């Protein structure tokens, strides 16, 4: 707290000095020429007033929870005993208690966000996206208390890392304003061993942090800030990026190479194989009749659809779709009831951008490559 106040005071003094200097230069420029009466011009006295900085009303600035920094070294992990946060240019990572976070975690998140922006050609903090306050996710903390509730964080992405103490079976999820992660690999060993459902089922925990999950959820956040997509399109692009980001980073980052090697990337089955005749019908139906337990085909279909669009129509395929949806102000809430007319409109957009035969070409491409044929 003291540090923040001191920094603000310093800034206000520097600003005051800058202002004074410009006034001084201004006065010199306009100095009258000396007259024969020799009425000497005297420099005006510089007025300096120290104003008290305004007291911030942002709950973030008066929070008792501290900002922490990591040193970037994977082996130098930190276990949180109290709520705390890590702040970057594009994100703020909000850490629960009892989380063990490796020293390179924030750097990896930054690489993932940069890669998403670069591959999709969109910004994670677009000008069009409004400033946010942190949502109330108190249900995730068991006590009904959310230490970050109401924090004003501008356009930064709120990245929650939570521990599932009860446990309730939380799963990672995301929307345009935030991404929430419940990743067992980040639970401290002490926390893990204190919960029988976890301790007695060690298979639930990988021996690596699955950064493809982070790429998947953060893709939801970044795309959600830029355009509104159908279920197939949104899960598809997130699933595609879950692989594509890790693959792109694997060459320079051994942590990503480990995920690429160890993760099981197999796709599950789909209700009907995809070919030229039914590719558009399936896209329009958006797998809307599947129950929550049957979820999966929209991920596989969508992932292959985006892969096809990138490979056949260029690396700007997503940004083209996104720009078109933005221009037409398309808004679709895929959590609401299925809307066939809206899905048909999405199909029309793809045909307009990539040609009337885009779906039949996609179907043929799937058959040829043996994708979506199980
Ligand atoms: Zn998803």
Residue 158: how many other CB atoms lie within 10 Å: 22
213 alpha carbon – ligand 1 mean position (Å): 9
338 alpha carbon – ligand 1 mean position (Å): 18
Q: Which of 217, 239, 259 is the last residue of a domain?
A: 217
Residues 243 and 287 placed together within one structural domain of the fold: yes
The DSSP output letter for 278 is T
Residues 239 and 114 placed together within one structural domain of the fold: no
pLDDT band at 53 (very low <50, low <70, confident <90, very high): low
238 alpha carbon – ligand 1 mean position (Å): 6
pLDDT band at 54 (very low <50, low <70, confident <90, very high): confident
219 alpha carbon – ligand 1 mean position (Å): 8
Q: Which of 160, 182, 217 is the last residue of a domain?
A: 217
Q: In the prediction, which pLDDT does 57 show?
A: 85
128 alpha carbon – ligand 1 mean position (Å): 23
pLDDT band at 33 (very low <50, low <70, confident <90, very high): very low
Give yes or no for a contact between 340 and 328, defined as CB atoms under 8 angstroms apart: no
179 alpha carbon – ligand 1 mean position (Å): 11
In a domain, 355, yes or no: yes
Q: In the prediction, which pLDDT does 16 show?
A: 29
Give yes or no for a contact between 144 and 131, defined as CB atoms under 8 angstroms apart: no
In a domain, 26, yes or no: no
Structural domain for 197, as ranges: 62-217
DSSP 3-state assignment of 23? helix
5 alpha carbon – ligand 1 mean position (Å): 41
Instruction: Give the helix, strand, coil percentages of the chain, each rounded to 5.
Output: 45, 10, 45
Mean of the per-residue pLDDT values of the chain:
87
Residues 211 and 235 placed together within one structural domain of the fold: no
Length of the chain: 374
Strand 84-87, strand 91-95: pairing: antiparallel
12 alpha carbon – ligand 1 mean position (Å): 44
Residues 177 and 270 placed together within one structural domain of the fold: no
Total domains in the fold of the chain: 2
272 alpha carbon – ligand 1 mean position (Å): 22
Residues 282 and 190 placed together within one structural domain of the fold: no
220 alpha carbon – ligand 1 mean position (Å): 7
182 alpha carbon – ligand 1 mean position (Å): 14
Residues 203 and 245 placed together within one structural domain of the fold: no
365 alpha carbon – ligand 1 mean position (Å): 24
Element (H, E) at 214: helix 211-224
Q: pLDDT tens digits, residue range 194-238?
A: 999 999 999 999 999 999 999 999 999 999 999 999 999 999 999
Half-sphere exposure of 237 (CA within 13 A, CB side): 26
Say whether pTM exceeds 0.95.
Answer: no
Q: Concatenate the DSSP letters of all residues of 297-363 into one string.
A: HHHHHHHHHHHHHHHHH-TTHHHHHHHHHHHTT----TTSS--HHHHHHHHHHHHHHH-TTHHHHHH
Residues 116 and 259 placed together within one structural domain of the fold: no
In a domain, 45, yes or no: no
Query: Range with the lowest mean pLDDT among 15-19, 81-85, 170-174?
Result: 15-19
Q: The domain that contains 109 carries what CATH number?
A: 3.40.30
Cα separation of 182 and 131, whole Å? 25
245 alpha carbon – ligand 1 mean position (Å): 15
Q: In the prediction, which pLDDT does 55 show?
A: 78
170 alpha carbon – ligand 1 mean position (Å): 14
Residues 148 and 234 placed together within one structural domain of the fold: no
296 alpha carbon – ligand 1 mean position (Å): 10
Residues 188 and 256 placed together within one structural domain of the fold: no
Is pLDDT above 70 for 5? no
Q: pLDDT tens digits, residue range 67-87?
A: 999 999 999 999 999 999 999
């Amino acid at each position: 707290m003291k540090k923040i106040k001191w920094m603000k005071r310093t800034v206000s003094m520097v600003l005051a000095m800058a202002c004074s200097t410009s006034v001084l230069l201004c006065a010199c420029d306009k100095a009258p020429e000396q007259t024969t009466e020799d009425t000497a011009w005297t420099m005006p006295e510089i007025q300096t007033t120290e104003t008290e900085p305004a007291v911030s009303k942002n709950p973030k600035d008066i929070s008792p929870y501290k900002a922490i920094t990591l040193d970037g070294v994977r082996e130098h992990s930190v276990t949180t005993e109290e709520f705390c946060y890590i702040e970057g240019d594009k994100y703020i990572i909000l850490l629960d208690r009892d989380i063990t976070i490796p020293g390179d975690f924030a750097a990896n998140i930054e690489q993932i966000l940069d890669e998403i922006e670069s591959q999709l050609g969109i910004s994670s903090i677009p000008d069009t996206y409004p400033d946010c306050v942190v949502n109330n996710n108190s249900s995730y903390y068991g006590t009904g208390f959310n230490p970050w509730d109401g924090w004003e964080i501008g356009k930064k992405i709120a990245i929650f890392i939570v521990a599932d103490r009860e446990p309730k079976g939380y799963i990672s999820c995301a929307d345009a304003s935030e991404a929430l992660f419940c990743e067992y690999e980040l639970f401290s060993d002490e926390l893990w061993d204190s919960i029988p459902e976890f301790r007695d089922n060690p298979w639930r925990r990988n021996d690596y942090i699955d950064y493809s999950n982070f790429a998947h959820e953060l893709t939801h956040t970044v795309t959600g800030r830029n355009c509104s997509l159908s279920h197939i399109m949104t899960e598809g692009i997130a699933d595609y990026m879950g692989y594509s980001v890790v693959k792109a980073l694997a060459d320079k980052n051994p942590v990503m190479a480990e995920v690429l090697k160890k993760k099981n990337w197999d796709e599950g089955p789909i209700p009907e194989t995809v070919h030229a005749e039914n590719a558009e019908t399936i896209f329009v139906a958006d797998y809307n009749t599947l129950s929550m337990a049957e979820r999966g085909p929209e991920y596989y279909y969508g992932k292959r659809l985006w892969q096809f669009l990138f490979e056949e129509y260029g690396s700007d395929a997503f940004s083209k779709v996104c720009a078109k949806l933005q221009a037409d102000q398309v808004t679709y809430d895929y959590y609401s009831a299925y809307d066939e007319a809206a899905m048909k409109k999405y199909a029309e957009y793809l045909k307009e951008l990539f040609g009337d035969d885009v779906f039949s070409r996609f179907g043929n491409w799937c058959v040829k490559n043996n994708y979506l044929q199980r």
